Chains A and B, each alone.
Chain A
Amino acid sequence: MTDLLTLVVQQSVNGVYLGCLYVMVALGLTLIYGVLNQINFAHADFVTVGAFTAFFTATRFATKALGMPDTGAYLLSLFAALGAGALLGWLVSAAVFAPLRRSGADELRPLIATIGVSVLLENGQLALFGPIPYQFDSPLGRQTIRMGSIFFSAQSALVVIVSVAAIAALYAFMRFSFMGKALRAVAQDRETAGLMGINENLVIALTIVIASALAGVAGALLGPVVVLTPFTGGSLIVKAFACVIIGGFGNMEGTIIAGLLVGIIEAFTVQYLGSGLIDLVVFAMLLLMLVIRPTGLIAERKEENV
């Protein structure tokens, strides 16, 4: 592949796929931030939990106990991961976020608390699953789709498709459903929303559950393409944060664009500079963003009340 055009297209394709990986992880983060003004450091570990749930559902439970065919097993595992993520989100919301909100905590303590949860989850999974990478094969994993000289694996195509579907579903939910509107109301102005009869606590808990369910599904999608260990989440979280910031805290469209941007930049950095410099480039970009356009790519956030 020495033709420059093919190369650029291929790396762009790689970048889009990478970007979708980050978007899947970042979307939940941005959702939680939008409503709660909170950063959940344990989010990436939710992704890992989702991945492991999917792995065990697909390989042990569905195929062995239920005797399902591979594709069915994998689909089932997606739902299992969604459920696991949702459950975990609900637990963390009830045990950590809600009590801290009640006691009137500032922005910092929930952050630290989620760090504690992250350490707990990572080491808990380490104790349960061990550090040796698990071989999670989805039925599509090994197939390559070729279009001319351009290639990508079937699983990456699935990642992109499901990400798009998830984003579309989320969008529809936020725009058209009552709960979605309530969520946006709470995100914009919690007090007024409360005055208008919206049960903020319910909405917030629901948001966390949805975001964590997203994380779970992300894990199920990523499992077959990443190196699956309890540390997988940690390897993704920092870049996911970068996407959230670059896109603008709490801004869904921005996060998506930022994710794709980060993915593409990563692919081209690898091509021309070297993979050791990826983090450097991405974070330099992030800092630049913060200086030039602190509100993110798509300025939607209101100004802070004086």
Chain B
Amino acid sequence: MKRAFITIIFAIGAFPFAALAQDKVIRVGVLMPISGPGSYFGVMGKEGIDLALEQVAKSNLNGYRLQVQYEDSACSPLQATNTVKRVLDQLKPHIVIGEECSDASLAIAPILEQAKVVQLNAGSVTMKLTESGYKYVFRIFPNAEQQSAPLVKVAREKLKAQTAVILYEKTNAGNDNAEGFEKPFVAAGGKVLAKIDFGRDVNDFTAIATRIASLGKVDVLPTFALEGQQVRLSQALAQAKVVKGGGGPGVQMGSIWLPFGYDQKAGQASVGYVRIVQFDPNEKRKVVQDFVKAFQAKYGADKTPTHINAHAFDTILLVAEAVRRGAKDSETIREQFTKFKDVEVTTGKISFDKKGQNSDLSVVHFVETQPDLSWKGMSWQ
């Protein structure tokens, strides 16, 4: 049995030598949660990346091609650490895309930093990723402050909200977003009546909705949870007559957690929901429309891409763009990234700031769910 192990291990280890033998390859490691509940992100992320690889292969990359190795990091620091080491050993990547969950992304950052391999993150929210001084970390996903601060502004200025109840899932991402709303809201004179968190395994929200109903008049309810739970939550809130969708006074607010199509799933309960949208499949920009068409051609005409698909798609676009501008290894990819200004992708324009965070939020806009469940773009910003 020991011999079998060793043979298998050498077989796996021999793989990258075949790849290295060829010239002009950019090796991309992708760490996605493919198993466990986190696979919600991983499945969509993989769809986006697969599509992007197809497209990029047809374009001009100065003779280079992209070689991708997927690993299942299962949204956990242990798995992320193991798989990042595995990918570093086997693939010797120039860049690693990952992860989705904040814990996992933070876990691999120091390892990639030490290995001097670029980490391109398109799914985590935690401020710590770009506040820890890493030079090799880049993120195109809006961080917690970028997501929550505009919500506070709109809540106070446009919606004239005095009171808020913050609802969030009990994860790093939920916590960060909730705090990102609470601090500025209170600083601007608002009152947070309650901060209610719940685990990802909570299915029923009637008790929570009842509790909120007992708190008195709530003006806004910023919510940071995944779509499955938000559907049930909105429905419960509507039942309890807390939110507009149920005839109540409160306005649910959200950030880019919810994909297009959420409103149809939640039904009437989602009417009046005000949220930030970054990837909007209705946007007229050519990049977006091409992406939507290609996505539907590949995955089915009834599937509209979500922002998770889009962000993952964009990571490959950015790698390709860096290569076109002359990058050929980790250091040069990093260099190109720092120089990026207004690079256009489906989720907007990319300009990385000194910390590696994309600071261009020009396509981010507010929408409000209409009675016919469509989005109405609001001109706030």
Closest to A272 in B: B211
B338 at the interface (CB under 8 A from A): no
Segment of B126-134, B228-236, B341-349, B355-363 engaged in the interface with chain A: B228-236
A7 at the interface (CB under 8 A from B): yes
**8 Å CB contacts to A: which residues of B1-48?**
35-40, 42-44
Known contacts: A132-B40, A151-B240. The answer to whether A226 contacts B35 by CB under 8 A is: no
Report the bound CA distance from A22 to B208 in whole Å: 18
A138 at the interface (CB under 8 A from B): no
* B208 to A: closest C-beta gap in Å: 6
**8 Å CB contacts to B: which residues of A203-242?**
222, 225-229, 231-232, 234-236
B85 at the interface (CB under 8 A from A): no
B residues in contact with A15, CB < 8 Å: 207
Segment of B154-162, B197-205, B271-279, B329-337 engaged in the interface with chain A: B197-205
B35 and A276: CB pair below 8 A?
no
B268 at the interface (CB under 8 A from A): yes
A231 and B207: CB pair below 8 A?
no
A229 and B37: CB pair below 8 A?
yes
A192 at the interface (CB under 8 A from B): no
Report the bound CA distance from A271 to B207 in whole Å: 7
A residues in contact with B232, CB < 8 Å: 225-227
B214 and A142: CB pair below 8 A?
no
Closest to B240 in A: A151
Known contacts: A130-B43, A131-B43, A271-B211. The answer to whether A142 contacts B198 by CB under 8 A is: no
Q: How many residues on the A side are at the interface (Cβ–Cβ under 8 A)?
A: 41
What size tier do the contact residues of chain B reach? Answer: 35 or more
B residues in contact with A236, CB < 8 Å: 203
Known contacts: A2-B214, A14-B207, A227-B232. The answer to whether A276 contacts B199 by CB under 8 A is: yes
B210 and A276: CB pair below 8 A?
no
Report the bound CA distance from A225 to B205 in whole Å: 10
B residues in contact with A151, CB < 8 Å: 239-241
Closest to B206 in A: A14
Known contacts: A135-B231, A151-B239, A227-B232. The answer to whether A270 contacts B39 by CB under 8 A is: no
A11 and B203: CB pair below 8 A?
no
A275 and B228: CB pair below 8 A?
no
B191 at the interface (CB under 8 A from A): no
Point out the residue from A133, A229, A231 that lies within 8 Å of B231, measured CB to CB: A133
B214 and A275: CB pair below 8 A?
no
B residues in contact with A235, CB < 8 Å: 201-203
A131 and B39: CB pair below 8 A?
yes
B210 and A275: CB pair below 8 A?
no
Report the bound CA distance from A17 to B239 in whole Å: 15
Report the bound CA distance from A123 to B34 in whole Å: 11
* A127 to B: closest C-beta gap in Å: 10
A63 at the interface (CB under 8 A from B): no
Point out the residue from A18, A123, A142, A275 that lies within 8 Å of B197, measured CB to CB: A275
* A37 to B: closest C-beta gap in Å: 29
Chain A 110-152 interface mask (CB, 8 Å, partner B; 1/0): 0000000000000100100011110100000010100000011
Contacts A153-B239, A274-B197 given; 19 further ones with Cβ under 8 A? A2-B216, A11-B210, A15-B207, A18-B207, A131-B38, A135-B265, A142-B268, A152-B239, A153-B235, A222-B203, A226-B232, A227-B231, A228-B228, A229-B40, A231-B36, A235-B201, A271-B210, A271-B211, A275-B196
A-B contact pairs, 10 of them (CB 8 A): A2-B216, A11-B211, A14-B206, A17-B204, A18-B207, A133-B226, A225-B203, A227-B203, A231-B36, A235-B201
Binding site for A on B (CB under 8 A): 35-40, 42-44, 170, 196-199, 201-204, 206-208, 210-211, 213-214, 216, 226-229, 231-232, 235, 239-241, 265, 267-268
Please provide the 3 A-B residue pairs with the shortest distance between their CB atoms, ordered closest to farther. Answer: A133-B228, A235-B201, A227-B228
